[in-house]
Amino acid sequence: MRRFLQITLACSLLGMCGCSSSSTAASTTNTSSASSDAKVLRVGMECNYAPFNWTTTSVSDTTVAISSADYADGYDVVIASMLAEELGYELEIVKTEWDSLIVDLNQGTLDCVIAGMTATPERTSQVDFTSPYYVSQEVVIVRKGSGLEDITDIQDLSGYRVQGQMNTLYDTVIDQIEGVDHVEAATDFPASIQALQAGAVDAVPAEMPVAMGVCAANEDLVYVVFSSGHGFTISEEEGGVDGGISVSIAVKQGNSDLLNALESALANISEEERNEIMEAAVLRQPASD
């Protein structure tokens, strides 16, 4: 993986609002804590959504401490580390439940959210988003031997039990399947995978890199890629880009200084490098995830 970018923060960004000073913030080096006068970028994520983000007890050059014993790792963590380093900030990863991310952002306990979040109309009415920092295809995960491994159209899931994660596109796209048995949404993504493995549901929608990681860690599962034009439809308004689904960074509405700074920093990470970071995250995510 390429070395993190090291560009000194311009004077105009030193007064950027929305960031804090903290003596307890986690350092991007994992071996030392932030100094009391350091500028800190507090980034919220679930740390439970591999390969975008997960929790581990192992220390590596891609992890960031989130407690005295646990570390955050994953695609979002690496992207957050690169952005914080370029902007001259110490990085603090704040492990937060999915449904609390936007609430905490608006309450000021977070500076931004980097958590595989799509800029849907509902969310854009509450927070501001950068341009997408990753785009992936929407697929479904099924059990091996279920008879669903070779389906090519989402309508092939008609009559089957399909479950998504609460308050995500994973759940709302399910209703595009005519006659589907739309199972009540799971509180988090791992819970939906557990339901699939237990036979309580037949399929779980997911983004391609997430599905790749889940299936690599669970030999009883396989992901299905639909034929062109026969998959889920994600409108541009809902975060759809070139037939895929995008994720963006969220900041509090009106915090244009931070939004513009993050946008500029993102522009320095090429699409090729973003894909390399995701491929590496998929390969190193814990088998238990």
Domain chopping of the chain, boundaries: 11-134+246-284, 138-240
Q: Phi/psi of residue 112, each to 5°? A: -160, 165
The DSSP letter of residue 184 is P
Residue 130 and residue 254 in contact, taking contact as beta carbons nearer than 8 Å: no
For helices 208-217 and 271-284, angle between their N-to-C axes, nearest 10 degrees:
20
Q: Output the pTM of the full model.
A: 0.72
Q: Identify which has the larger pLDDT, 28 or 73.
A: 73
- Is 138-240 in the same CATH topology as 11-134+246-284? yes
Measured CA to CA, the distance from residue 2 to residue 276 in angstroms comes to 9
Predicted confidence at residue 246, as pLDDT, reads: 87
User: Once rounded to an integer, what is the mean pLDDT over residues 235-250?
Assistant: 77
CA–CA separation, 59 and 26 (whole Å): 13
CB 88 within 8 A of CB 267: no
Q: What is the CATH number of domain 138-240?
A: 3.40.190.10
pLDDT value at residue 229: 87
Q: Which residues contact 86 (CB under 8 A, 6 or more apart)?
A: 4, 5, 6, 7, 9, 265, 268
| Tens of pLDDT, residues 82-120 | 999 999 999 999 999 999 999 999 999 999 999 999 998
Q: Which CATH number fits domain 11-134+246-284: 3.40.190.10, 3.30.70.270, 3.30.1450.10, 3.30.2130.30?
A: 3.40.190.10
C-alpha dihedral, 270 to 286 to 209 to 127, nearest 10°:
-70
Contact 205, 162 (CB under 8 A): yes
What are 19's two structure tokens? 């960031």
Q: What separation in angstroms does the CA of 143 have from each of 172, 196, 223?
A: 21, 7, 8
pLDDT (0 to 100) of residue 235? 73
pLDDT for 136: 87
